[in-house]
Amino acid sequence: MLRKPYTAQAPAAQRVELYQKFGAGSWRYVETREVALGPEPQWLAFDVTDALRFWLAGHEPWGFFKLSPHCSCEDDHSTAEILFQIDGFETFRGDMGKVKMQGQRLPFLLATATPPERAAQLQSPRHRRAAADTAYCFGTEEKNCCVRKLYIDFRQDLKWKWIHEPRGYWAHLCTGACPYIWSSDTQYSKVLALYNQHNPGASAAPCCAPETLDPLTIVYYVGRKAKVEKLSNMIVRSCKCS
């Protein structure tokens, strides 16, 4: 979606939240964004992958999103409305109105899909071994570099009491051997592995490390005010030898 130019005197930015229609009369939190307010238009992007999967699974006949200002019930000065406008929601009348509507840049949803023949290749053992992700590692007894399940309880394991929700999450970890040319995506990893094979005491071997990580949304309190934040790189989805 495109934020229209904003010229009024106001804060430099506004925090907004995107919600997904979920069931009858309820909304599910998707993501938070800090939107800069300025004279130049700005494209705003949200990751709605989970919402799209939910709709494609047939859980909802129609998909709706709602953009709301971030508002703390404990804050009397919080903004109750969105300060900026999104292009594409204006209505015009008459013949000139149709021309103006054609010039609007409407919000859009960008989705990518995998053709059936490509999906079959991704499920082949040869390809899956190169992609050491959760879809492969959790369903096999692979001994080499792979994602392993690991659940972390914030209070018990880390002694963190400041995170209100969730109480814990599946962080996962990367572990396993990295033999010669196993999941190596660079020539450096291959050379290092081969060098270590011939000189075991001279150099460290390639190690199994995270390749793809997902964020985690948490709820915490500052005083009596609830805050929602997205922590980046918290969940391991795939591993590689490097």
Task: Output the DSSP codes for 5-30.
Answer: P--SS--SEEEEEEEEE-SSS-EEEE
pLDDT tens, 9-25? 767 888 889 998 877 77
- Numbered ranges of CATH 2.60.120.970 in the chain: 2-102
What is the fold, at CATH topology level, of the domain defined by 130-241? Cystine Knot Cytokines, subunit B (2.10.90)
For residues 177 and 241, the answer to whether their CB atoms sit within 8 Å is no
CA distance 41 to 3: 5
pLDDT tens, 178-193? 765 444 455 666 666 6
pLDDT tens, 185-227? 556 666 666 666 666 665 556 788 898 999 999 999 988 888 8
CA distance 56 to 71: 31
Write the CA distances from 33 to 40, 49, 107, integer angstroms. Answer: 18, 16, 16
For residues 15 and 70, the answer to whether their CB atoms sit within 8 Å is yes
Q: Provide the pLDDT confidence category of residue 129 given band limits of 50, 70 and 90.
A: very low
For residue 155, the model assigns a pLDDT of: 92
Q: Any long-range contacts for 191-196 (C-beta under 8 Å, 24+ apart)? A: 193/241
Instruction: Please tell us whether the domain made up of 2-102 is placed in CATH 3.30.450.60.
Output: no
For residue 69, the model assigns a pLDDT of: 87
